[in-house]
Structure 1
Amino acid sequence: MWNAVFHLWKNMGKVPLSVIFRDTRNVFKKDELGLEIAQIAFPAALALTADPIASLIDTAFIGHIGAVELAAVGVSIAVFNQVSRIAIFPLVSITTSFVAEEDTVGRRTNENLEKGLAIDNEMEELIPHIDSMHNSPSRTVNNTKNMEFEHERRHIPSASSALVIGGVLGLIQALFLIFSAKSILNFMGVNSGSPMLAPAMQYLTLRSLGAPAVLLSLAMQGVFRGFKDTKTPLYATILGDVANIILDPILMFVFRLGVSGAAIAHVISQYLISVILLWRLMRKVDLLPPSIKDLQLGRFLRNGSLLLVRVIAVTFCVTLAASLAARLGSTSMAAFQVCLQIWLATSLLADGLAVAGQAILASAFAKKDYDKATATASRVLQLGLVLGLVLSVFLLVVLQYASRVFTKDVNVLQLMNLGIPFVAVTQPINALAFVFDGVNFGASDFAYSACSMVLVAIVSILCLFILSSSLGFIGIWIALSIYMSLRTMSGFWRIWTGSGPWSFLRA
C-alpha cells in the first residue's frame, strides 16, 4: 500500500500543479488561441445565461404576486431544471465532443482529398500543350469537386443521433412530470395542505409541455458547439427569451393567468428557439443518415450512461438542498430560490469557457496535438479564475442594493441577506468547477468525471443533512459551498496526477 502511495506521489512530482497555470502573463493575450477561445466562449456564455436570466425575470414578476406564489414557482423551477439536467447534461456534453471529433476528422479527410486534387492538377501541367487545355473536362471536374467541399452539407452522424435521443427523452420527461407532479412536489416538501401546492402544480404541469422543445434545442446547441459555432444558438436563444419577457406581463397580468401565464410564456419561447435552430442546422448538416447503424446510438448510450450517473449525483445534491429549504417554510424557500437562481445564472458565465475548452480540446485530442491541449486547458482555467473573482466582487456590491427587485417581503429579504455572501464568495470556486468539467469532457474523460462526482455527492449529501439540521438556512449554503469546493478539487487532482488522458504530461 505504502509503495503505491509513494509511486503516486513520485509521479505527481513529475507533473507540477503549475502546468495548469503556466504563462499566466498571457492570460489576456490576443494570440490565435486567445481569439479562438473568445469567439467560442463569449457567445456561449451569453446563450447559457439567457435562460437563467429569463427565469430571474419570471421570478421578479411572480414575486410581485406574492411570497407563496414565488416559493411555489421556485420549487417547480428547481424540479423542472433538475429533471431536465438528467437528460440534457449527458446529451449536450457528449454531442459537443463527438461532433467536434467527427468534424475534425472530416475536415482533415477533405484537406487530404484537396491535396490529392492539387497533385493531379500539377501532373496535368506536365502534359504537353496544357496551355491550350485550361477548359478541359478534367480541370472542370476538379474545380467542381473543390466547390462541393465548400458548399455541401456535412455528414455528421452524431448530430442525427443527438436529435433522435433528444426528442425521445423530451417526450418521456414531459409525460413523467405531468403525471407525477403532485408526488414529486410532495417529496420536495410541498404537502397537500400547503398553500404552495396549487400554484406549484399549475406551473410545473404547464412548463412540462415544453420539455421536448428544451431537449431538442439543447441537443442542437451541442451540435453547433461541436462546430465551434456558438453565435447561432445565441441569436436563437435571445429571440426566444425576448418573446418570453414580452409575453410574461401580458399573460400574467393582462389576461390574469398568474403563474400559469409565466409557464405558458416560457413554453412558447422554447418552441420558438427549437424551430430557429432546426432551420439553421438543416442548412449545415445532412440530418438523414443512410441507415440506423450510422446513428451510432450505442456509442452515445455507453458514454451517456457514465455522464447520467454523474448528473444524477449533481442533480440530487441541488434538489436535496431545495427540498431542505422548502421544509423550512415558504419564506426560506422563497429566499433560497432567488439566491439559487443568482448563483446559477452568474456561475453559468464560466460555462462559456467550459464550452470553448471542450470544443478546442476535443479537436486537439483528435489530432493528437498535446501541446495545444495543454495550452488550452491552462488558458481556460486561468480565465475562469479571473472571471470568478470579478463576479465575486460584483455580486457583493450589487446585491446589497438590488435584492428588492425580486421581492418586497421583509422576512424573505432578511434571509436573502444571509445567503448573498455565500453566493458571492463561492464564485471563483464555481467558475473553476465548471471549467474543469469542460476540460474533462474535451478529453473524453467521462468515466473519471462520473466516478469522482459520485464520491463528491456522497460527502456533500452528508454535509447537507448535518448542517441544515443544525444551522438551518445558513447550513444549506455552507454545504453547497463544500460541494462546489470538492468538485473543483477533483478536477485539479486529475491533471496534477497526470493520469488518464493527461498521462502525456508525465512524458
Structure 2
Amino acid sequence: MSAISFKNINRLAIPAIIAGIAEPLISLTDIAIIGNVDKNPIEALAAAGIVGSFLSAIIWIVAQTKTAISSIVSQHLGANRLHAVKTLIPQAIYFNLLFSIVIYATTAFFAEAIFSAYNAEGLILSYSEEYYQIRALGYPLTLVTFAIFGVFRGLQNTLWAMKCSITGALVNVVLDFLLVYGVEDYIPAMHLQGAAYASLAAQTTMLVMALWFFFKKTPFHLKLSFNINPQLKGLLLMAANLFVRTAALNFAIYLANAYATGYGKNYIAAQSILMNIWLFFSFFIDGYANAGNAIGGRLLGARDYNSLWELSKKISKYSVFIAFILMGICALFYNEIGLIFNKEESVLVLFSSVFWLVLLMQPVNAIAFMFDGIFKGLGEAKYLRNLLLAATFLGFTPALLIADHFGMKLYAIWIAFFVWMLIRSSALVIQFRRKYLKKEI
C-alpha cells in the first residue's frame, strides 16, 4: 500500500486526532465544570484558564523530545535501521523523566510569582496557586507518556496513543463531576482541587496504559545503557531547537493572557474560553500534522522526495476540509457554545463578540499546523525555531501592541494571533516548495 494513500494517511491521522484532542478535552472539561460552580465561578474559571495555559506552555516546551523521538524513529524505520536506536529510546525517556522533576520542583516553588506575572491577583491568584500545586505533580506522568507516544508515532502507529488518551479523558470527565461537585454523604465537593486531582488520575491512567503497549507491542525496552547512543546528541539538539520554538509560541500565549487579565476578570474569563477552544481546534487539525510527521520522516529516510510533495498536497486538503467542518459546526451553534462554559452574561457577550474571528482563522491554522508537522518529521527543527521567533517578535507582538494602543482589547489579541498564523503558514509553504519540490534523489 502506498505510504501516501488516503487510507494510509487516515490510518495514522484519525487515531492521532482522537488522541490529540484528549489533552485539550481534559482542559475544556475542567473549564466547563469549574465555570459552572456556584462559588465564585468567574474567578475559578479565570484561574483554571491561566493555569491551563501555563501548564500547556511548559508541557509543549519540554515535550518536544516526543517530536524528536518520532522523527528519528520514523527516519530509521524508513531506512530499515531501527536497531541503531534501540539504546536511544530508554535514554530519551529517562531524560524526560529527570527533566520533568526539575521543572516541577522549580515552578511549584515559584507558583505565586509565576501567576502574578499573568496579572492575577486576589482570589484569582489564590485559586491559581492552589490549582497549580496539584496539577504540576502530573509533569513526570505526562512527559514520560508523551515520549512513549513519540515512539509509537515513529513506528507509524497512532492507535495505541489513541486508546490511552480516550481512556484518560473518560477518567477525567467522570472524576471531574464526582470531585468538583461531590456526592452527598459520600464525597465532599472539592471545587478547583477536585478538577486538579481528576487530571492527575487521568494522567496516571494514560501512563500505565502507554507502558503496557510499549513493552508488549514495540521492539524497544527501558533497560538503560550508559554507553551514550550516537543519535542522542542529534535528538537533544533537535529537541533544544524545538524548545526555543515552543517557548516563543508560548510567549505569545502568555502575552495574550496577561493583556486579557489586565483588561479585567470578565475579559480573562472570556479569553480562557476562546483560547481553550482554539487549542482544541489546533489539536484536532493536528492529527493530520501527526500523520505528516510520521509519514514524512519515513519518506525522508527512504529518500522518496516525489512522494513527500504528494503527501503535503493531500494532507493540506484534508486539514483544510476539517477546518471548514469545525467552522460550520461552530457557526451553527454560535451562541450556544459559550453557555457550555459559563452562564455570566458579561462574559458571554465578550466571548460572542470575538468568537467569529477565531473561526475565521481556522483554514490558515490548518495549513500552518500541517506543514509544521511535516517539517518536524523531516528534522527541520532549526528552521521552525527561527520562523516562530520571527512570527512572534516581528508579527504577533507588534500587532498586539498596535491594536491594544487603539483600545481593541480582545480584538487586539485575536488580530495578533491571525497575523501570527498568516506568517507561519505562508513561510512554511514557501520553504517547503523551495527545498523539497524539485529535489533530486
What residue in structure 2 maps to residue 175 of structure 1?
Answer: 105
The AA in structure 2 aligned to 1:369 is: D
Report the CA distance between 1:495 and its aligned residue.
Answer: 2.2
What residue in structure 1 maps to residue 78 of structure 2?
Answer: 104
Q: 1:48 aligns with which of 8, 20, 23?
A: 20
Q: Any idea what SS the aligned residue of 1:353 has?
A: helix
What residue in structure 2 maps to residue 292 of structure 1?
Answer: 227
What residue in structure 2 maps to residue 462 of structure 1?
Answer: 398
The AA in structure 2 aligned to 1:490 is: A
Deviations 1:402-438 (A, max 9, x none): 2211111000000000121012111111111110101
Q: Return 5+ residue gaps in structure 1 as ranges.
A: 1-29, 110-153
Q: 1:495 aligns with which of 421, 432, 435?
A: 432
Name the larger-Rg structure: 1
Matched, 1:392 2:392: no
Q: Return 5+ residue gaps in structure 2 as ranges.
A: 183-187
Q: Any idea what SS the aligned residue of 2:119 has?
A: coil
What residue in structure 2 maps to residue 15 of structure 1?
Answer: none
Q: How does 1:134-283 map to 2 (within 5 A)?
A: 156-191=86-121, 194-254=122-182, 255-283=188-216
Distance 1:344 1:503 in 2: 31
Distance 1:85 1:327 in 2: 25
Distance 2:50 2:235 in 1: 31
Deviations 1:227-266 (A, max 9, x none): 1111111111111111111111211121221101100110
Alpha-carbon contact 2:91-2:224 (below 8 Å) kept: no
Alpha-carbon contact 2:309-2:437 (below 8 Å) kept: no
What residue in structure 2 maps to residue 79 of structure 1?
Answer: 54
Distance 1:93 1:429 in 2: 22
Q: How does 1:30-49 map to 2 (within 5 A)?
A: 33-49=5-21
Structure 2-normalised TM-score? 0.93
Report the CA distance between 1:50 and its aligned residue.
Answer: 1.2
The AA in structure 2 aligned to 1:287 is: L
Matched, 1:381 2:323: no
The AA in structure 2 aligned to 1:278 is: L
Q: What is the CA RMSD across the aligned residues, in angstroms?
A: 2.0
Alpha-carbon contact 1:71-1:334 (below 8 Å) kept: yes
Report the CA distance between 1:206 and its aligned residue.
Answer: 0.7
Structure 1-normalised TM-score? 0.81
Alpha-carbon contact 2:85-2:229 (below 8 Å) kept: no
Deviations 1:99-147 (A, max 9, x none): 11223333699xxxxxxxxxxxxxxxxxxxxxxxxxxxxxxxxxxxxxx
Matched, 1:313 2:313: no
Alpha-carbon contact 2:330-2:337 (below 8 Å) kept: no
Q: Any idea what SS the aligned residue of 2:310 has?
A: helix
Alpha-carbon contact 1:353-1:384 (below 8 Å) kept: yes
Report the CA distance between 1:158 and its aligned residue.
Answer: 3.7
Report the CA distance between 1:503 and its aligned residue.
Answer: 6.5
Q: 2:34 aligns with which of 62, 65, 75?
A: 62
Task: Indicate the percent of aligned positions where both proteins have the same amino acid.
Answer: 25
Matched, 1:475 2:408: no
Q: 1:420 aligns with which of 355, 371, 374?
A: 355
Distance 2:134 2:4 in 1: 46
Count of equivalent residues: 429
The AA in structure 1 aligned to 2:381 is: F
Deviations 1:163-188 (A, max 9, x none): 11211121122112211110010100
Q: Any idea what SS the aligned residue of 2:189 has?
A: coil
Alpha-carbon contact 1:396-1:420 (below 8 Å) kept: no
Alpha-carbon contact 2:305-2:437 (below 8 Å) kept: no
Distance 2:412 2:95 in 1: 39
Alpha-carbon contact 1:54-1:241 (below 8 Å) kept: yes
Alpha-carbon contact 2:285-2:322 (below 8 Å) kept: yes
Distance 2:215 2:149 in 1: 13
What residue in structure 2 maps to residue 358 of structure 1?
Answer: 293
What residue in structure 2 maps to residue 127 of structure 1?
Answer: none
Cα gap change, 1:61/1:214 in structure 2, threshold over 3 Å: closer, same or farther? same
